[in-house]
Amino acid sequence: MMEYWGGCEGTLGREKAEYEVNLDDGILKGTMFKCPSVGELLERRKEVYYGNMTYCDHCRFLYPPIAREYGFEIQWYVDFDETGRCIGTCRWISFKNSME
């Protein structure tokens, strides 16, 4: 998981995200300080969807099923403004599934 997310060659580095990823005692913790995808939508004055589904929900729905195929769990915590719009910041933790 660290190889996929972290470092210059990881997906977040290639996307030029502002982030921090740490691996401690088998738990990968990530913080997205500025999501490049949400930033681009805002820069282009495009709507960042809000309400029941937001743009930021794609990470928490896309990645956990894939991670489970490899024996990992991921939990996402997305930040929203007072109107319910995602603001391009989030946190996640990932760990090896002990049931595997």
- Give tens-digit pLDDT for 17-34: 888 989 899 899 999 998
Query: pLDDT by residue (tens digit) across 37-93?
Result: 777 777 777 666 655 667 778 888 888 898 899 899 999 998 988 887 888 899 999
Beta bridge pairs of residue 55: none
pTM of the model: 0.75
Q: Is 82 exposed, middle or buried (0-12, 13-18, 19+ CB in 10 A)?
A: exposed
